[in-house]
Amino acid sequence: MSTVDRVTTDATPERMAPRDRLAVGLLLFSAFVVILNETTMGVAVPHLMRDLAITASAAQWVTAAFMLTMAVVIPITGFVIRRVTTRTAFLAAMGLFTLGTLVSALAPGFVVLLLGRVVQASGTAIMMPLLTTTVMTVAPPSRRGRIMGNVGVVISVAPALGPTISGAVLGAASWRFLFVLMLPIAATALVLGWLRLPTLNEPRYARVDVASVLMSAVGFGGLVYGLSRFGEAAHTGALAAWAPIVVGAAGLSLFVARQLWLQRTDSALLDLRTFTYPAFTLGIALMALSMVAMFGTVILLPMFAQNVLGVDALTTGLLLLPGGLLMGLLAPWVGRAYDKVGPRPLLVPGTVLVSASVWTMSRFDAATLPVHVLLAHLLLAAGLSLMFTPLFTSALGALPARLYSFGSATIGTVQQVAGAAGTALFVTLMTATALARVERGADDVAATAAGVHTAFTVGAVVTLLAIPAALALRTRPSEDAHAPGDAPEGAADGEVEAVGAPHA
């Protein structure tokens, strides 16, 4: 019996086979480790400036380079996951992450540290699409929501814990220990994967289209880089932000055109036929809106708490921690509820809560109490927790199995671009309004408060778009739907068949 046959047979029952549970558990643990690392360096910026004798703008690149690398690598992962076995992809992801952690821990200067972060991000970019693709492949349709709820725990709790753990470590040791402490954990995950992770798919050979790789790097990299520069546009000039965005848009247009051409021979780097499935496209749109809201508030709330309310950095981190923990606590419950009622009964109240939380934040001013920040953030976390698992599961569940890897890569790419867009939107609006108020004689606190009000008000209007989109989503996407003119591939293609979804 082939690997394809074994996966299809084992995944049909209501419970996963033991080897599949082992694979998902190991991937969940490893994904938690790599995502936790993504948010630890923001708190370390002052320490990096002092120890490495660099400016604040240079130190920010430790985080910006991570996001930029993710945006460049993730679009390629759909191709990579199909080309190699699950085990090989995992070893590559954790191997890169472990190597990058080691390089960062031993970095003699800023340039080597930046290189280490880029290598770390390359591994992280592979891990999340690999996790979601594997879950969608091996999990029975009736239990996908519950298992994807565990993915939601990883996505929500790990980033929330990052700044808190970072603050605790930096209070007692050098920034290098952020990597030193992570290294044995990453190495353990790598060894466990090498020893225990089974092969869940049969790779399908395909030629690497170098032109698509270059276009993807220019397109997505240019967009994320330009969006990340908008917050500094008031000081560096608008051209510094708009020029890479224009270049990125041009590169992205060429990338899309080339993928549409290559799809005719099933050799696209990122198959865009995922967008011919309405439930997937609508889910991506909702995911983008939720990412804009989440990243925008995550960047703005700490600035508001410290610069307007006068709260210190540690207290700010503690104010935001309960929201991340709440998302983690709710994620398994949301997953089980999805299996029973489908996405719409969860998404509609989720979008309403997200919008209500951002509207609440738009009323913040210098007299706001820290507890009000905490409550508003908890409201946002509750809304996002009702959205993430249903969006991931329903969007990918609308696709045939041969497109899972491309769908996962698309979701990851949209998260990075939308996150950068949300950050750019909120920071730019806040900065522009604050500068205008300062020119009219307002002090820094009043000017920043006015900027936060403007940013959250516009963000709140944006969140309203998500409510009708959630209402438009079908109650439960078809598990065996195929887009018009998109004939499913046979077993000869070497792809794992959709779980519980026979060929049309």
Cα 34 to Cα 124: distance, rounded to the nearest angstrom: 6
Q: Is the pLDDT of residue 246 over 70?
A: yes
Residue 129 and residue 26 in contact, taking contact as beta carbons nearer than 8 Å:
no
Residue 236 has what pLDDT?
58
Return the pLDDT at 412. Answer: 83
Q: What percent of the chain has pLDDT over 70?
A: 87
Q: Once rounded to an integer, what is the mean pLDDT over residues 84-112?
A: 92
- pLDDT value, residue 247: 92
299-304-308 Cα angle (round to 5): 160
CA distance from start to end of the chain = 23
Higher-pLDDT residue of 316 and 1 is 316
3-state helix, strand, coil in the chain (%, to 5): 80, 0, 20
Contact (Cβ atoms closer than 8 angstroms) between residue 300 and residue 451 = no
Give the C-alpha separation, 33 to 128, whole Å.
Answer: 11
Average pLDDT of the segment spanning 308-313: 80
Which one, of 103, 78, 156, lies nearest residue 333 by Cα?
A: 156
Among 4, 207, 22, 184, CA closest to 105:
184
Give me the half-sphere count of Cα atoms (radius 13 Å) on the Cβ side of residue 378.
11
Q: What is the mean pLDDT of residues 406-426?
A: 82
| pLDDT tens column, 371-393 | 999 999 999 989 988 988 888 88
Contacts (Cβ under 8 Å, ≥6 apart) of 348? 467, 470, 471
Alpha-carbon distance of 91 to 197, in angstroms, equals 9
431-436 average pLDDT score: 84
Question: Residue 6: pLDDT band by 50, 70, 90 thresholds?
Answer: very low
The DSSP result for 1-13, as a single string, is: --HHHHHHHHHSS
Chain-wide mean pLDDT for the chain? 81
Mean local confidence (pLDDT), 30-38: 85
- Which whole number is the average pLDDT over 473-491? 46
Residue with tokens 């409510």: 467
Give the model's pLDDT for residue 237: 60
Distance CA 452, CA 354 (A): 17
pLDDT range class, residue 475, cuts 50, 70, 90: low
Q: Is 410:268 a contact under the CB 8 Å cutoff?
A: no
Residue 138 has pLDDT above 70, yes or no: yes
What's at 242, amino acid-wise? W
Half-sphere exposure of residue 460: CA atoms within 13 angstroms, side-chain side = 17
DSSP-derived letter for residue 479 is T
pLDDT band at 485 (very low <50, low <70, confident <90, very high): very low
Q: Please answer whether residues 349 and 116 qualify as being in contact, where contact means their C-beta atoms are separated by less than 8 angstroms.
A: no
How would residue 231 be classed by pLDDT, with cut points 50, 70 and 90?
low
